[in-house]
Chains A and B, each alone.
Chain A
């Protein structure tokens, strides 16, 4: 095996005898980073996070330090809130669940650090409704943290008050969109807010400045404080620092979650060396590299990266490279599709998800996502017409970039990229 995992967040996860108990976490050195950091100037923590180059692990890959810097704890009169986005709903993504189930205190430690750094006294973990077990585990972890004065009034004698609460979603993908999440947290329908003006950093939950970070991102805060921002930034590759959890699913022999330094391995290494290759020795037909909304990559196509022409298996798994080849690292969900799959069926499956999950607030996504699903259902049931391929692409074009929230892109990018990359498969449906 040419590459090996670099487990930082997953360090103890799945280790023999490691449990999600408070005692176990403490025995493994848990909360020591926090206790040390609580003695420092909060601004220093923000500085370390900035230095680390940490980019958000939820999907957009936005700089965490930058996101935090939008709010100046000294200048706001309203309370600042932190929300941990644990609404992991992107098909193909199952990393946050592992952390929550198997190492919840790691998340709490990261969150308390983030709270202390940003003068947050009240934080929420918004967890998707389909994770009842995760919510239960978090509640227990929170109770233990409170019992040990890691949460509550005057934590660890620092004079700093902070508490964290769990809020369960009711089963809607759109709650993963941060402003939809905020609306839901406020007890409303999770209709994403318009941006501008409702940027969470300015008008977030209860119209107060709010930081929304992914589970994995917040866990990284702990490790940044442990090793120092500078050292963390040396992990991975420039501008793509740290480690990343990758969730591999689909037609590979060993699907699962893995942790690597960002950009230190290629798609090919991931599939062949880590995941044991494609099942039955089949050839790869396509790869969705960052959750189902990321644009699909065609296996037999050449990609251009820094003036070099490379094959799909040579694409490094990092934010910038995947963006350069026209897709995104998104939520880290890598879905491998082999040659035996009907590519139109694959898209029909994805589009059916987005038609079901569109919140219905704004016109293009509401009407377009179901329309695309209906066209695809027809195409996969022997009723394709020659004009359907173009129609499908045109509907997607009319959604992307014209909606309230990025769901418009999430539902149209798969369609645009599947049709763009595999036009002959779609056109063949009309001939069958």
Chain B
């Protein structure tokens, strides 16, 4: 498995250590085998059941404060000689402890009994629900958590139909500005302390705590401190209620309207697994998706919010043909044809290609194929370094550097200088810039003026597209399908959540059509075709397909290490 497999977490209550021995447990009357030491909440999960809980989180320390997972525990009866007393069925006889105990803090042991559906266990859940709701504002109609709120869910499952509370509710602070990206409503808070534990244990940013006591207890940042760390929005995810909300998302969309698409974040080389929430072709949020081999259950705030650029006014929407201000919109067919014609007279040595390690494997594969067909020797990507944080932010700000190396496109930026010099000296006449603003990679605008033909594909207008003769609008990560290889060598899949704007085209298709225009038909009509072809050509991908990658990705192993730049 990948090197960061859930080692980032201080706790992994849901993952028993390898070779944990199994113990026999009486679970609601049935004897089952489960790994020793697993807590009872996790045991119920493995039985396909669910033990409701607020404070328990598999990746955080056990707090035991919500009392929602109370159950009845039994222990095997003992004979005078301390041996286990066996019943007629050959199974241990159980003695049930009259006091209910919490599942999250109770590891299973040999011969233990678990009753989660007894009258007492049910009564416990019902009463905890009642306690949690008496002082809750019940403002679901205007609460962002509505639709994914544990109070709502458990209310309908375990709560009472009516309230017995006629007293005045406790008033607490509302609309508390807890941090740059987070707002707190103390009245909604169930004081589960997940956010406190996350900040302290996962981010080592111990800024949250409880103040006051009893029913007046409330969450607060320590005086003079704010919840501003790079992972702060994860607290919004793990908040089981609407106490912590994201400033970016709040009041924007009712969550039940969001269509969810599994994909990955493409902000850095980690490739955190995400769920894209979209409605009417607009993305409203990204949330981390559980993958122990990549990001566990977390993602950074920067990556999470890094989707607004897709909806900027600057989006390229139509293919354009022509020099400078004389560019005019064209239809795709004509644009491809014109491009094909415009470079027909050039030799491979006169053409360079600057691709992007933000492109998918499929796109990079096609780009390389095309470059080979054109005889292009000068090809590279633009490297991007960032400051890694040892948690999820990678030092590689490109999401697919490994793929770009694997597919022979990337020379780690070592060719860029040669390409710039080639343009300046006039030996290079045609530049194909795919998803990169080459003005940020060593070119000046004057350099670009020297070219006979400049093709720029991409998402947003930039200095390169302004100078380009052919501007081809491509798609952003959430608008297309494909795959990438993260810095740890894991092959992962992007899925399309929304359509690109205007006439923007998925880049794999754009590249197929460009190849057709310059080199004739190639028989690749779907992205599956492209992957199949790539899997046949590239050993690393042998035997794989987009569907085989699945939602959790495939580890390509250390062989996917990029070659050292020459």
Contacts and interface: CB of A to CB of B under 8 A. Distances in A.
A420 B123 CA distance: 21
A259 interface: no
- Residue in B68, B165, B214, B217 with the greatest tally of chain A CB atoms within 10 Å: B214
A356 B209 contact: no
Interface string A361-400: 1111011111100110010000001000001001000100
A390 B128 CA distance: 18
Interface string B44-68: 0000000000000000001011111
B134 interface: yes
Residue among A189, A401, A402, A404 having the largest count of chain B Cβ atoms under 10 Å:
A402
B130 interface: yes
B539 interface: no
Contact of B213 (A196, A359, A401): A359
Q: Which of B102, B135, B215 has the most CB of A within 10 A?
A: B215
Residue of A366, A367, A401 with most chain B CB atoms under a 10 A cut-off: A367
B132 A363 contact: yes
B191 interface: yes
Contacts of B217: 359-361, 366
Nearest to B168: A374
A358 B215 contact: yes
A128 to B, nearest CB: 15
A403 B191 CA distance: 14
A402 B100 contact: yes
Contact of B167 (A366, A368, A369, A378): A378
B346 interface: no
B105 interface: yes
B208 to A, nearest CB: 12
A348 interface: no
A288 to B, nearest CB: 22
A171 B266 CA distance: 52
A371 B210 contact: no
A315 to B, nearest CB: 26
A362 B127 contact: no
Interface in B111-133: 123-124, 127-128, 130-132
B127 A398 contact: yes
A366 B172 CA distance: 15
Given A398-B130, A402-B127, A404-B64, A369 B70 contact: no
Interface in B77-107: 98-100, 102, 105
A99 B301 CA distance: 57
Interface in A340-360: 355-360
A404 B100 CA distance: 11
A196 B66 contact: no
Q: Number of contact residues on A: which range applies?
A: 20 to 34
Contacts of A375: 167
B334 interface: no
Interface string B11-47: 0000000000000000000000000000000000000
Contacts of B99: 401
A402 B210 contact: no
Interface string B253-266: 00000000000000
Interface in B200-215: 209-210, 212-215
B65 A356 contact: no
A368 B214 contact: no
A370 B209 CA distance: 22
A358 B214 contact: yes
B128 to A, nearest CB: 5
Contact of B67 (A172, A355, A362, A369): A362
Nearest to A355: B214
Interface string B324-339: 0000000000000000
B431 interface: no
Tell which of A191, A361, A363, A394 has the most Cβ of chain B within 10 Å. A363
Contacts of A366: 131, 191, 214-215, 217
Nearest to A411: B214
Contacts of A367: 131-132, 134-135, 215
B164 interface: yes
A403 B131 CA distance: 12
A368 B127 CA distance: 10
A43 interface: no
Classify chain B: how many residues form its interface, as a range. 35 or more
Contact of A374 (B66, B98, B167): B167
B308 interface: no
Interface in B406-441: none
Contacts of A358: 213-215
B127 A360 contact: no
A64 to B, nearest CB: 24
B544 interface: no
Interface string B211-247: 0111111000000000000000000000000000000
B134 A371 contact: yes
A364 B102 CA distance: 13
Interface string A226-262: 0000000000000000000000000000000000000
A44 interface: no
A360 B67 contact: no
A197 B70 CA distance: 16
A238 B328 CA distance: 104
A402 B213 contact: no
A194 interface: yes
Contacts of B130: 398
Contacts of B70: 402
A369 B210 CA distance: 18
B167 A402 contact: no
B170 interface: yes
Given A360-B191, A360-B212, A196 B67 contact: no
Contacts of B357: none
Given A355-B215, A369-B215, A370-B170, A362 B210 contact: no
Interface string A184-222: 000001010010110000000000000000000000000
A362 B215 CA distance: 10
A170 to B, nearest CB: 11
Contacts of A371: 131, 134, 165, 167, 215
Contacts of A172: 213
Contacts of B510: none
Contact of B131 (A197, A364, A374, A401): A364
B128 A363 contact: yes
Contacts of A362: 64-67
A364 B67 contact: yes
Contacts of A361: 65, 191, 217
A402 B67 contact: yes
A173 to B, nearest CB: 10
B190 interface: yes
Nearest to B54: A363
Interface string A399-429: 0011110000000000000000000000000
Contacts of A191: 65
A366 B132 CA distance: 9
Contacts of B191: 360-361, 363, 366
A368 B131 contact: yes
A298 B217 CA distance: 35
Contacts of B65: 191, 361-363, 404
A394 to B, nearest CB: 8
Nearest to A197: B105
Contacts of A189: 209-210
A385 B167 CA distance: 12
8 contacts: A189-B209, A196-B105, A359-B213, A360-B217, A363-B132, A363-B190, A371-B131, A404-B67
Given A359-B217, A361-B217, A369-B215, 7 more contacts: A194-B62, A358-B213, A360-B214, A363-B68, A364-B128, A378-B167, A404-B64
Q: Give the top 9 A-B pairs by smallest Cβ distance, nearest first.
A: A360-B217, A398-B127, A370-B215, A367-B131, A358-B214, A374-B167, A194-B64, A362-B65, A360-B213
Interface of A: 172, 189, 191, 194, 196-197, 355-364, 366-371, 374-375, 378, 385, 391, 394, 398, 401-404
